[in-house]
Amino acid sequence: MLRFIFARLFSAALVVIGVSTLVFMLIHLVPGDPVEVMLGESAQPADRAALRHALGLDQPLPVQLYHYFNGLLHFDLGTSLHSQRPIVELMLERLPATLELALAALVVAVVIALPLGVLSAVRKDTAWDHSARVVSLMGISIPHFWLGPLLILVFSLWLGWLPVSGRDGLTSLVLPALTLGAVLAAILSRMMRATLLETLNEDYIRTARAKGLSGTAVILRHALRNALLPVITVLGLQLGALLGGAIITEMVFSWPGIGQLTIEAIHRRDYPVVQACILLVSVTYVAVNTLTDLVYAGLDPRVRLREKE
């Protein structure tokens, strides 16, 4: 088990280093000059040169990359080019909103997906199954940037039940969480249906039924526990996509989180903030996937045996 944990942590560290380097290079290669954004097009060349030197943007890219990783080793994400505030402070201000939205979307996805997937598997090839599969297909097909405005149009403008945007109370969380959790719910419900159908055909399920257990007891006590293992893996993989979708959702609903901070930093060519936000998302994604691997290995010893082979 220790060998398995070390291998997963080592690969996770390599991924984070690779993502950090790639993001740094791509951000510096895209068109746009943060100095011009900060001073305006009418600024004098001497003023631009002085500000570029003060921000360290006149140094070669390898030197800037060295300072960037040196700061990361000391847990220093740098200073915002736009506000001149420590990036850690900016992210700590926005992080609670993103975590709140992601957690709410996760709850929405699980609450919708598990009953829908179980019902679809138990009532296979019935009207319930076909309806659940249609709902899942719609959830996967509809993008966030279309579903969000549609929900605003219906529940905010037409019915007036919920606020349009912002973060003001529990009611303002409903539409963003539903928008963000819809795709994840669709994926999880389809996975739940597939794994549960496979589990229900196992020999131990037939044995449990032969002993006289009710259908509910067979599903809850025997089939569902084993069918959840692949779903846990998919859930861990989709959490990264959840954070990626949060960027679009936060912009649609003016949700003051990390996603909105990222878009604002891109518009301002605020390189350090963009790097820090993407680094946070990537590290979270890698950490969740690594934790998922470890949990899966703990629940299923066959994973550890395959690693040894």
Phi/psi of residue 213, nearest 5 degrees: -70, 145
Q: Kindly report which listed range (58-62, 134-138, 158-162, 216-220) carries the lowest average pLDDT score.
A: 216-220
Task: Please check the confidence at residue 82 and state whether its pLDDT lies above 70.
Answer: yes
Residue 24 binned pLDDT confidence (cut-offs 50, 70, 90): confident
What pLDDT band is residue 240 in, cutting at 50, 70 and 90?
Answer: low
Beta-carbon contacts of residue 86 (< 8 Å; ≥ 6 apart):
77, 78, 79, 80
92-127 pLDDT tens trace: 888 888 888 888 888 888 888 888 888 888 888 788
CA angle (185 as vertex; 179, 188 as ends), nearest 5 = 155
Average the pLDDT over each of 59-68, 96-105, 236-245, 282-291 and give the range with the smallest value: 236-245
Average the pLDDT over each of 120-124, 157-161, 186-190, 298-302 and give the range with the smallest value: 298-302
Tokens 């900060």 belong to 38
CA distance 128 to 123: 6
Rounded Cα distance between 137 and 162, Å, is 26
C-beta pairs of 14-21 under 8 Å, 24+ apart in sequence = 15/282, 15/286, 16/279, 16/282, 16/283, 16/286, 19/278, 19/279, 19/282, 19/286, 20/68, 20/69, 20/72, 20/275, 20/279, 20/282, 21/65
Residue 85 Rama label (left phi>0; alpha psi -120 to 50; beta): beta
Choice between 189 and 245, residue whose per-residue pLDDT is larger: 189
- Predicted local distance difference test score (pLDDT) of residue 134: 83
Under the banding of pLDDT at 50, 70 and 90, the label for residue 297 is low
Residue 158 has pLDDT above 80, yes or no: yes
- Quickly list DSSP for 84-102: -SBHHHHHHHHHHHHHHHH
| pLDDT confidence band for 298 (50 / 70 / 90) | low
Long-range contacts, stretch 62-65, CB < 8 angstroms, 24+ apart: 64/24, 64/28, 65/21, 65/24, 65/25
pLDDT exceeds 60 at position 308: no
Q: How confident is the model at residue 180 (pLDDT cuts 50, 70, 90)?
A: confident
Q: Tell which wins on pLDDT, 96 or 136.
A: 96
Written as six digits, the tokens of 274 are 């963009």
Mean pLDDT, range 292-299, rounded to an integer: 68
Angstrom CA distances, 255 to 108, 116, 144, 247, 277, stand at 18, 29, 14, 9, 16
- Whether residue 184 contacts residue 241, with contact meaning beta carbons closer than 8 Å, is answered with yes
Q: What is the pLDDT of residue 222?
A: 66
Q: Are 155 and 263 in contact (CB under 8 A)?
A: no
Confidence label for 40 from pLDDT (cuts 50, 70 and 90): low
Nearest one of 220, 12, 277, 241 to 106, comparing CA atoms: 241
Q: Encode pLDDT of 264-287 as tens digits.
A: 888 777 778 888 888 888 888 787
Structural contact between residues 34 and 272, judged by C-beta atoms closer than 8 angstroms: no
Segment 246-268 mean pLDDT: 84
Tell me what the pLDDT averaged over the chain comes to: 78
Residue 303: pLDDT over 70: no
When pLDDT is cut at 50, 70 and 90, the band that residue 1 belongs to is: low
**pLDDT higher than 80, residue 148:** yes
pLDDT at position 165 is 81
- Higher confidence at residue 272 or residue 309? 272
Does residue 39 carry a pLDDT above 70? no
Q: For residue 215, name the pLDDT band (cuts at 50, 70, 90).
A: low
* Residue 306 to residue 303: CA distance in whole angstroms: 5
